Amino acid sequence: MNQYPIWKYLIILAVVVPGLLYAVPNLYGEDPGVQVVGVRSYKADQDVLQSMEGALREVGIEWTQSSLDERGIQMRFADTEIQLKAKDLLQLELGDNYTVALSLIPATPAWLTSIGGQPMYLGLDLRGGVHFLMEVDMDGAIRAAEERYVGDLRSALREAKVRYLTVRRQALGGVEIKFRDAEQLAKGQVLIDRDMPELQLQKTERDGRPVLAVSLRPAQVDEVKKFALEQNMTALRNRVDELGVAEPVVQQQGDRRIVVQLPGVQDTAKAKEILGRTATLEIMMVDEEHDLPSALQGTIPAGSKLFRARRGGQILLENRVVYSGDNIVDAAAGIDSRTGGPVVHITLDARGAAINQRVTGKNIGKRMAVVYIEVKSDVKRDAEGNPVLDQSGAPVKVKKRVEEVITAPVIRDQLGKRFQIEGLESITESRDLALLLRAGALAAPIEIIEERTVGPSLGKDNIAQGFQSVVIGFLLVLVFMVVYYRLFGAVACVALMLNLVLIVAVLSMFQATLTLPGVAGIVLTVGMAVDANVLIFERIREEIRNGNTPQASIHVGYNRALSTIVDANITTLIAAVVLFNFGTGPIKGFAITLSIGIITSMFTAIVGTRGVINLIYGGRRVSSLSI
């Protein structure tokens, strides 16, 4: 009696061994380092790594390790002082085409990383960093949508030859169309109902003339707000990537707010600068009448300008903007139905569509270029590369305009409101380009309504206090269980320790972020995990008091307490799932660790302790139990 078959012990080992293996990376800590990633189309490759190593070697800065992977280049240093010197030097060496960010790099051995072993991420409250709460101006998003509809309505009425007097947006919202007579109003109403069902119409009069009051339907208003929030989040994520943060948080809060958390970032001014950076697009025609080699030698024709091409080299464009990114309403990656190649589908507003139709109609067979333009703020430096300071000692900032041609396709047909960009190399490139077009500028203004900085020392204190709370809770439970339940209590404590290891392993395997509320969830799990063993042990003691043999008492105790334990844990798990679905960031962090802890504790408390007790007492005659 009370013997496990071999396959059950193999299952326990199959859970315990990987759990120990994937929890180990959290013991190695982190090294101060520098992370380098390419900006826009530039890529951090082996040549860049060799250039970095050469620059550091010239000035005698030593690094402990350098590596190159899909995330970019990482260099480790012995201490933070060397890290800061290397960061400044590498930024000067690589220029604006690469982002050089301070980073804390896990010191996990290579053999662990080769099998996917990584430490779990620490949240803002544990690691330190900056926290922004941003509010999207939804009224501004609605105003922008109504302004676009003003142009769309004018174009639609002109094409249908419906005579109108004015089409203008009202100060209090909505668009008003004034017609010459009721007959033209009726034609316009039929046209708008047919082509723009997302608009709702109301007849009225003004100055003796028939008027259509046009407004967005509630469903369309919700769609505009949703689009503005999603596009702003996409734009912010795109900009946050330049900071090189290991685990940034950009998430929605409510129906108009965005939370941006940047763990490990202490320079609030730098973070605000990048989040508020302006970027746009300009569409220009390629100058195919003049000679590019002559322009490269300095003979640039009047009315043209050289631009840097995305894939290297330069390209000569007519120095006249056809239309800008302000006219792009939407961009989405897709597949060309004819060729099967990747494309980006572009949607323009009424003004951009009219210009596009006219220009492309006249230039079929020629090339049209998409130019990405970004205005960056940088520190002014002297001839020796040192920062220039003002009278107060603060570095002088200068604006730099970065211009780059990302694509220059051939115009094959006359284009209108919707067209597609072809000639892309892969689906990944088309997605990146669509993201670039959409995230080049914010869809609606945003305002930082809350800003907090969490220092690294406070994060260390939080980690120390959280670890201390877990240790104290564990030791108190250990003392009570060993004194009250003796050998069985010691087995329960071994299972409890294993439970903590499995929680850490699961968080590490899924690269989840541990926050201070998550630590609270782990502490709660310590008490809940041992509670299951208390139910089992008390049932065993009850069976012994009723005169059952020790072996029968163990068997009955585990079997009959199982349903109670499962019911209690499932109800708690349901509560944790509800907290995760309806809670915000801190509550979700608590719910995640609580959920993981409930699942792992059911395994360790029921299967794990039963396996150990079976090894100790199973298969032999026992006169008494140490319980």
Q: Span 596-610, mean pLDDT?
A: 87
Q: Can you read off the two tokens belonging to residue 175?
A: 């668009």
Question: Residues 183-222: pLDDT tens digits?
Answer: 888 988 999 988 888 889 889 888 888 998 999 999 888 9
- Check if CATH label 2.40.50.220 holds for domain 279-438: no
Measure the CA–CA gap between 245 and 57, rounded to whole angstroms: 26
Question: Residues 395-441: pLDDT tens digits?
Answer: 776 656 778 887 788 888 888 888 877 666 677 667 666 655 655 55
Architecture of the CATH domain 139-218: 2-Layer Sandwich (3.30)
Cα–Cα distances (Å) from 420 to 124, 287, 409, in that order, read 41, 21, 10
Q: What is the four-CA torsion angle of 589, 593, 19, 123, rounded to 10 degrees?
A: 20
The answer, yes or no, to whether residue 582 has pLDDT greater than 60, is yes
Question: Residues 56-103: pLDDT tens digits?
Answer: 988 888 898 888 877 678 888 888 788 888 888 887 788 766 777 777
**Which DSSP category does 40 fall into?**
T
Question: Residues 323-334: pLDDT tens digits?
Answer: 876 677 777 778
The pLDDT score that the predictor gives to residue 438 is: 59
The pLDDT score that the predictor gives to residue 4 is: 79
Helix (H, G, I), strand (E, B) or coil at 528: helix
Band (602; pLDDT cuts 50, 70, 90): confident
Q: Can you read off the two tokens belonging to residue 347?
A: 């949607």
Measure the CA–CA gap between 38 and 110, rounded to whole angstroms: 25
Where in the sequence of the chain do the CATH 3.30.1360.200 domains occur? 279-438
Give backbone dihedrals phi and psi of 478, rounded to 5 degrees, phi first: -60, -50
Distance between first and last Cα of the chain: 19
Band (590; pLDDT cuts 50, 70, 90): confident
The answer, yes or no, to whether residue 365 has pLDDT greater than 70, is yes
The answer, yes or no, to whether residue 375 has pLDDT greater than 60, is no
Where in the sequence of the chain do the CATH 3.30.70.260 domains occur? 30-106
The pLDDT score that the predictor gives to residue 270 is: 57
Measure the CA–CA gap between 301 and 371, rounded to whole angstroms: 19
- 365 sits in which H/E element: none
Superfamily of domain 6-24+455-617: Multidrug efflux transporter AcrB transmembrane domain (1.20.1640.10)
The answer, yes or no, to whether residue 455 has pLDDT greater than 70, is no
Strands 513-514, 121-122: pairing kind:
parallel
Please give the angle made by the CA atoms of 131, 136 and 140, to the nearest 5 degrees: 155
Measure the CA–CA gap between 224 and 484, rounded to whole angstroms: 63
What is the distance, to the nearest Å, from the Cα of residue 463 to the centroid of all Cα atoms in its chain? 24
Mean pLDDT of the chain: 81
The answer, yes or no, to whether residue 534 has pLDDT greater than 60, is yes
The pLDDT score that the predictor gives to residue 510 is: 83
Which CATH entry fits the domain spanning 30-106: 3.40.50.720, 3.30.70.260, 2.40.160.40, 1.10.3210.10? 3.30.70.260
The structure tokens 């041992």 sit at 530
